[in-house]
Amino acid sequence: MPKRKPTLPIDFPILYIALAVLAFGLIMVLSAGAVRGFNATQNSYYYFSQQLKWTLVGSVFAIIAMKIPYTFVRRFAGIGVIVSLVLLIAILFTDAGKTVNGSARWIVVAGVTIQPSEIAKLAMVLFYAHVLDRYPIQRGSDWRIPLGILVPSTVLVLGLVYKQPDLGTTMVIALTCAVMLLQTEIPTIWFVAAVPTLGLPLFYFIRATEYQWERIMVWMDPWKYAMGKGYQITNAEIAFGSGGLFGVGLGRSLQKYGFLPENHTDTIFAIAGEELGLLGTTLLLCLFVALYARAYQVLRECPDRFARLLGYGITSSLAIQTTINLAVVTGVLPVTGITLPLISYGGASLVITLVKIGLILNLSRYRKTASKERNVKTLTDISV
């Protein structure tokens, strides 16, 4: 791929909206994590200080991702997937994995705790963008090469992530890969056929896994299991109900006093609903919608297929993760552990998310090139 020089500065609306969401998240971590931090470390600001530290680290990596040529990132397409696979295998089949709440999702490397599934989410987007650009799936072309590369690697990554177990991240990766394939000329009937083909085995695995099937039963009637498996979702509903329209006030949540599990991570949106009410959560939803809509709009102007696929995949990955988290916390989907991008506490998730934002801003610098090329082509056609 020939080197391209950026023609515009970064897209500032994307930057400003991302910073607003990030600031919202820091405020909520400060509030939601205060009680848990004091109980664990005698420091109410513990989780906030940790989140702030990872924000600074992630910002450094985001700036690097924003400055380097996006064509250079392509060199890591294969390496990223290999590193992800190695780390995922190490978690499952060696003693290097760190288990939290029954899930082995973390590994300590050189004193730093890494979540390989977060790396895998970005690595798969980069890998798909590279393969689908090098071997475009178009009508009349040979699809066996790209699908022969993508399908086995995707199944392997999904299998290892699901085995941790981490159904939420498995869904994010699978759906992201699917929407990237939708950008090709694969007939829609293939995706229709894929729903039962992949859905039936997934249903079998969920049905055969006791705790996952229990989550389905709880999701159907959470208040029946309010003192057991439905404790988390029912307390999330209590938090939303207590917040009403205007909320009980920032920092005044009662659910964070040991009632709502994972209130500073997976279910932090419920604390936002309790403290800031419907108006506060609606504001956050509007920020997310504005962020992703703006990113999709800008990235359509990328100068080549690889850049468009990369930008579309990254934005879709974030949007899908956001949707799943919000659906879980509000009871639309069964409970599964997945963070809310830029909001939930978590070092690995936050750093990778900031890197993704950096890459989106990087790609936004090249958006005018595509417009110029289209204008030149239009003028040429008119003159002819």
pLDDT of residue 2: 54
pLDDT at res. 252: 94
**Can you give the pLDDT at residue 36?**
93
At residue 137, the pLDDT reads 83
What is the pLDDT, as a whole number, of residue 216? 85
pLDDT band, residue 99 (cuts 50/70/90): low
Query: What dihedral do alpha carbons 138, 141, 142, 143 form, nearest 10°?
Result: 10
Read off the pLDDT of each residue in 139-145 and give the average, rounded to a whole number: 76
Please give the pLDDT value at position 104. 67
User: Per residue in 162-202, pLDDT tens?
Assistant: 888 888 899 999 999 999 998 888 877 777 777 777 777 77
Where residue 145 falls among pLDDT bands split at 50, 70, 90? confident
- State residue 371's pLDDT score: 47
> Mean of the pLDDT values across residues 330-345?
92
pLDDT at 149 over 80: yes
Distance CA 328, CA 267 (A): 9
pLDDT in tens, 121-137: 999 999 999 999 999 88
7 pLDDT band, cuts 50/70/90, is low
| From 189-198, 229-238, 356-365, the region with the lowest mean pLDDT | 189-198
Neighbours of 222 (CB within 10 A): 21
* pLDDT classification of 378: cutoffs 50, 70, 90: very low
**3-state class (DSSP) for residue 36:** helix
Tell me what the mean pLDDT of segment 354-371 comes to: 85
Residue 321 scores a pLDDT above 80: yes
**Banded pLDDT at 98 (limits 50, 70, 90):** low
pLDDT score of 100: 65
Note the pLDDT tens digit of each residue in 48-75. Answer: 999 999 999 999 999 999 999 988 999 9
Parallel, antiparallel, or unpaired for β 97-100 and 112-114? Answer: unpaired
Instruction: Summarize pLDDT for 28-51 with one digit per residue, the tens.
Output: 999 999 999 999 999 999 999 999
Give the position of tokens 């780390």: 87
Q: What is the mean pLDDT of the chain?
A: 87
What's the pLDDT at 335? 85
| Residue closest to 19 by CA, chosen among 271, 235, 291 | 291
Q: How far apart are CA 375 and CA 373, in angstroms?
A: 5
Helix (H, G, I), strand (E, B) or coil at 20: helix
Q: What is the mean pLDDT of residues 328-332?
A: 93
Question: Which pLDDT does position 382 carry in this prediction?
Answer: 37
Q: Is the dihedral of CA 307, 309, 310, 311 positive or negative?
A: positive
pLDDT at residue number 376 = 40
**What is the pLDDT confidence band of residue 106, given thresholds at 50, 70 and 90?**
confident
